[in-house]
A = this chain, B = another copy of it.
Amino acid sequence: MNPAELVHILYLVAIVAEAMTAALAAGRRQMDWVGVALLGSITALGGGSVRDVLLGRHPLSWVEHPSYLLITGGAALATIALARQMPHLRRVFLFLDAVGLVVFTVIGCNVAIALDMPVVIVIAAGMITGCVGGVLRDMLCADIPLLFRAELYATVSVVTSLVYLGGQRLGFPHDLVMLSAMAVGLALRLLALRFGWSMPKFVYTESLH
């Protein structure tokens, strides 16, 4: 298995994991089965879709590979059957969610690099791919996106991108750099979860209007 194959397999694992955690969010809001399947697909595939729409890159991944729609919708529905086991799998899903974040980030960077985008846009493409799915999930649940309020989620994406781009700039082999960037991002995310690290909050109480 070469690194490109590994990334593809991790991508499939990641979209399944994202769809399943979105299904739990749907269940907490008592959505019906259709809502569960839709929220799962939108969360898992939304980040890459928004990235491609903003970059004007067509076809979108799920338009080219319609099986991604079936995989993510199916994974979300399977979560309903597995609901009683899910609390015991909490740590597994937090781990897979972290894997998804770094894999999505690296894939997003690669898309922008292939389009000859400047560094800032490569990092932005990684962050959009990694984080926007969860933002759409929270917007569709009428919540303020978790990304804006908690955890090092976006920060992990930026660090992963910086290690990936920096390592390539320094001339290290591509595959080694890619795997290292994902490992560093994953470690940072797991440490943040373990020790409750978060960004400082901005608290402003005056009303402008």
Q: Which of B27, B154, B200, B205 contacts A203 (CB 8 A)?
A: B27
Task: Find the B residue at minimum CB distance from A120.
Answer: B66
Say whether A2 faces chain B, with CB atoms less than 8 Å apart: no
* Alpha-carbon distance between A26 and B149 when the two chains are bound, in angstroms: 9
Segment 11-33 of A: residues with Cβ below 8 Å from B: 21, 23-33
Say whether A117 faces chain B, with CB atoms less than 8 Å apart: yes
Segment 22-65 of A: residues with Cβ below 8 Å from B: 23-36, 38-39, 49, 53-56, 58-60, 63
Q: Are B149 and A145 in contact (CB under 8 A)?
A: no
Contacts of A59 in B (CB 8 A): 55-56
Say whether A195 faces chain B, with CB atoms less than 8 Å apart: no
Say whether A187 faces chain B, with CB atoms less than 8 Å apart: no
Say whether A168 faces chain B, with CB atoms less than 8 Å apart: no
The residues of A with any CB-CB pair to B shorter than 8 Å are: 21, 23-36, 38-39, 49, 53-56, 58-60, 63, 66-67, 69-70, 80, 83, 86-87, 90, 93-94, 117-121, 124, 135, 139-150, 153-155, 198-209
